[in-house]
Amino acid sequence: MFCTSLFFGYLTIVTILIYFYLKKCYRYWKVKNVPYVKPKSLLFGSNLDLILHRISFQEYHATLYKELAPHRYGGYFNFQRPFLLIRDPDLVKHILSIDFQTFSVRHNDADDTEPLRLHLFNLYGDKWRVLREKLSTAFSPAKIRMMVHLMKECAQELVHVLDKSADGNTDVSISDIVARYGTDIISTCAFGYRAHTLSNPEAEFRIMTKKIVEPHFAFKFRSFLLSVSPKLCKMLKLRMFNQEAVRYFITLVDETIKYREKYGTIRNDFIDLLISVKKMEQEANMKDENREGKIDISVENLAAQCFAFFFAGYATQNLTLSTALFELARNPDIQNRLREEIDEAFDRTKGNIDYDTLNKMKYLDQVVSEAIRSYPGQPIILRQCVQDYKIPNSDVVIEKDTTVFIPRYGLNHDEEYYSDPDTFDPDHFSDEAKANRHPYTHLLFGDGPRKCIGMRFGQMHAKLALTMLLRHYEFTISPKMKLPIKYTSNVISTSIVGGIWLRNKRRSAS
Ligand code: HEM
């Protein structure tokens, strides 16, 4: 009896202490005199609805953006951690570009428990800087121009696969077909291997890809823990990826590199670049083993750079292409206007569509930009400050290690910058519209030194597919399509609930 009373006594004291501790945490922004969104729950901070899956990641950030209007910036609580959200485009420019030295880190949770996570997206400091410099060559216009030849083989296979349903009455899961097209492009351009998942959905490469991009329990648990406590997450050294798939991709990269080194094969893809980086590093190491700016050229680290295509490119590319097709099907006038430009390009080049042709197609560029604006795979851009930072034109000092969010979705859907922001209108990206808008309200690929390195690659992926598809088919919405569109997201990807379903009909002239 005495023990029970003692137990309940302690429990009450502990509960009261926790209560006051949490209350103190939530005073953080008030003490700093920063406007903030009040936490919705004592345990989960501002993100209760997100945890309970009542709203998507996109809706959550759009709501925070609106709730903090009209302030230039404001705070909220991710569990008990204070995050800062930036609303003012001038301030966004400071964080992404002008004051980059203070915000050079995206997040500092990269650890070597999971070698495939040590890619550009997750690295910071000198490791990031040196690698970014070396890898930039792979994404230069000259290299992408060559990779478009490899992409074209996949785009032709894409047209071929859709030929089977081209009667205008068959319901097609565009999300699935676009995901296979994306997988084929990554397999051929990044891993140096034609996986043919468009013609064979059961190909081993596709099965392994799914094991990575369709997260299992361990992945979700680690992601959850990461947002609660990055320190605990690092300490526990939890793995997030399926280990069979990890071994498969490392072995694939290892064997491809060994084969090319042995036979001197050149394919003008990403693996070729990794081989030249490896060779240069080996030569430099022979001259000076202890030099600065060394790169880890172990097979795991080289495979991690290929893996960035999955982590940073796969979902965004698939979402861009599938939602662009969806909007074209829903808006026949936009579809026809784009098709006119495509037909003109085919006639002019006698069907020889290449990098330069695609780059010159203005309306195509507007359609792709509008798809990314309307349906951003990553609704936010993340930065962490590496030292205390005084917000320009204010007295507020952000403390070192504070996480700062740039609400890409919020800015892209703000009526102040985009007329009718919820309508798909490629003229949002006409020269005139762009010239009249603050450039830091676009942010389709981020900005500053950590801007998306795969921008040209991602644009070509979508532009090539749209050109080939609209040349051959007319698209309409399938009755299987669930409207209005709702998002579902996890850390690695955002997709549309129920997927995108369309119908395609062969054009009489093609
Ligand atoms: C339509 C396709 C794509 C979109 C919309 C997109 C968008 C973005 C955005 C918004 C960022 C954050 C930029 C920032 O923090 O300022 C980013 C970063 C990044 N993206 Fe992309 N991306 C796309 C395709 C790709 C592809 C195909 C790759 C292939 C490797 C890629 C690799 C990366 C990497 C490595 C980063 C981090 C760069 C760094 O920190 O240095 N992305 N992307």
What does the buried/exposed string (b/e) look like for 472-493 if buried means 16 or more CB atoms within 10 Å of the residue's CB? Answer: bbbbbebeebeeeeebebeebb
pLDDT, mean of residues 228-252: 81
Instruction: Give residue 445 CA to ligand 1 midpoint distance, Å.
Output: 6
Whose alpha carbon is nearest atom 41 of ligand 1?
Answer: 450
The more confident residue out of 490 and 404 is: 404
Atom of ligand 1 nearest to the CA of 186: 27
pLDDT recorded at residue 128: 93
pLDDT band at 2 (very low <50, low <70, confident <90, very high): low
Q: Is the CB of 452 under 6 A from ligand 1?
A: yes
Question: Rounded CA gap, 181 and 172, in Å?
Answer: 14
- Non-local (6+) Cβ contacts of 504 within 8 A are 162, 165, 166, 168, 172, 469, 473, 474, 475, 476
Instruction: Give residue 264 CA to ligand 1 midpoint distance, Å.
Output: 31
pLDDT > 80? residue 490: no
Instruction: State which amino acid sits at residue 439.
Output: P
- Which of 112-116, 160-164, 319-323 comes out lowest in average pLDDT? 112-116
Q: Is the CB of 381 under 6 A from ligand 1?
A: yes
Question: Rounded CA gap, 452 and 335, in Å?
Answer: 28
pLDDT recorded at residue 239: 73
pLDDT > 80? residue 62: yes
Show the beta-strand stretches assigned E in 10-139.
Answer: 73-78, 81-86
Question: Rounded CA gap, 498 and 486, in Å?
Answer: 9
Residue-range domain boundaries for the chain: 86-506
pLDDT band at 116 (very low <50, low <70, confident <90, very high): confident
Instruction: Give residue 453 CA to ligand 1 midpoint distance, Å.
Output: 6
Instruction: Give residue 28 CA to ligand 1 midpoint distance, Å.
Output: 32
- Count of beta carbons in the 10 Å neighbourhood of residue 377: 23
Instruction: Give residue 312 CA to ligand 1 midpoint distance, Å.
Output: 6
Distances in whole angstroms, Cα of residue 291 to Cα of each of 120, 273, 275, 294: 21, 22, 20, 7
- Non-local (6+) Cβ contacts of 378 within 8 A are 316, 408, 494
- Tally DSSP H helices, then E strands, for the chain: 21, 11
Q: Is the CB of 308 under 6 A from ligand 1?
A: yes
Q: pLDDT tens digit string along 325-370? A: 999 999 999 999 999 999 999 999 999 999 999 999 999 999 999 9
Show the beta-strand stretches assigned E in 336-415.
Answer: 381-384, 389-390, 397-398, 403-406
pLDDT recorded at residue 54: 80
pLDDT, mean of residues 3-30: 82
Fold (CATH) for 86-506? Cytochrome p450 (1.10.630)
Question: Rounded CA gap, 216 and 1, in Å?
Answer: 46
Read off the DSSP letter of residue 493.
-
What does the buried/exposed string (b/e) look like for 34-48 if buried means 16 or more CB atoms within 10 Å of the residue's CB? Answer: bebbebeeeebbbbe
Contact by Cβ (8 Å): 509, 470: no
Q: What is the average pLDDT score of the chain?
A: 90
pLDDT, mean of residues 289-307: 88
pLDDT > 80? residue 225: no
pLDDT > 80? residue 214: no
Instruction: Give residue 472 CA to ligand 1 midpoint distance, Å.
Output: 30
Contact by Cβ (8 Å): 313, 457: yes
pLDDT, mean of residues 255-270: 92
pLDDT > 90? residue 1: no
12 CB-contact burial (10 Å; exposed 0-12 / middle 13-18 / buried 19+): exposed
pLDDT band at 181 (very low <50, low <70, confident <90, very high): very high
Q: pLDDT tens digit string along 121-165? A: 989 999 999 999 999 988 999 999 999 999 999 999 999 999 999
pLDDT recorded at residue 278: 92
Contact by Cβ (8 Å): 484, 478: no
Instruction: Give residue 457 CA to ligand 1 midpoint distance, Å.
Output: 10
Rounded to 5 degrees, φ, ψ at 176 are: -70, -45
pLDDT band at 237 (very low <50, low <70, confident <90, very high): confident
pLDDT recorded at residue 378: 85
Whose alpha carbon is nearest atom 27 of ligand 1?
Answer: 313
Whose alpha carbon is nearest atom 16 of ligand 1?
Answer: 446
What does the buried/exposed string (b/e) look like for 255-293 if buried means 16 or more CB atoms within 10 Å of the residue's CB? Answer: ebbeebeeeeeebbbbbbbbbebbeebeeeeeeeeeeee
Instruction: Give residue 330 CA to ligand 1 midpoint distance, Å.
Output: 28
Whose alpha carbon is nearest atom 17 of ligand 1?
Answer: 452
pLDDT, mean of residues 414-418: 96
Question: Rounded CA gap, 154 and 168, in Å?
Answer: 23
Instruction: Give residue 292 CA to ligand 1 midpoint distance, Å.
Output: 27
pLDDT, mean of residues 255-267: 92
Q: Are strands 473-477 and 487-489 parallel, antiparallel or unpaired?
A: unpaired
pLDDT > 70? residue 316: yes
Instruction: Give residue 450 CA to ligand 1 midpoint distance, Å.
Output: 9
pLDDT, mean of residues 240-269: 91
Question: Rounded CA gap, 454 and 140, in Å?
Answer: 9
pLDDT recorded at residue 135: 92
Q: Is the CB of 450 under 6 A from ligand 1?
A: yes
Instruction: Give residue 362 CA to ligand 1 midpoint distance, Å.
Output: 22
Whose alpha carbon is nearest atom 12 of ligand 1?
Answer: 446
pTM: predicted TM-score of the whole model, two decimal places: 0.93
Q: Is the CB of 372 under 6 A from ligand 1?
A: yes
Atom of ligand 1 nearest to the CA of 447: 16
Q: Is the CB of 135 under 6 A from ligand 1?
A: no
Whose alpha carbon is nearest atom 6 of ligand 1?
Answer: 445
Contact by Cβ (8 Å): 161, 371: no
Q: Is the CB of 426 under 6 A from ligand 1?
A: no
Rounded to 5 degrees, φ, ψ at 239 are: -90, 145
Q: Is the CB of 122 under 6 A from ligand 1?
A: no
Instruction: Give residue 439 CA to ligand 1 midpoint distance, Å.
Output: 18
pLDDT > 90? residue 104: yes
pLDDT, mean of residues 240-260: 91
Read off the DSSP letter of residue 442.
T
pLDDT recorded at residue 493: 64
Mutate to test the pocket of ligand 1, among 452, 453, 459 (most ligand atoms within 8 A of CB): 452
pLDDT recorded at residue 110: 61
pLDDT, mean of residues 110-119: 76
pLDDT > 60? residue 510: no
Whose alpha carbon is nearest atom 25 of ligand 1?
Answer: 313
pLDDT > 60? residue 492: no
Find tokens 């951690």 and name the residue: 81
Q: Is the CB of 92 under 6 A from ligand 1?
A: no
Instruction: Give residue 393 CA to ligand 1 midpoint distance, Å.
Output: 31
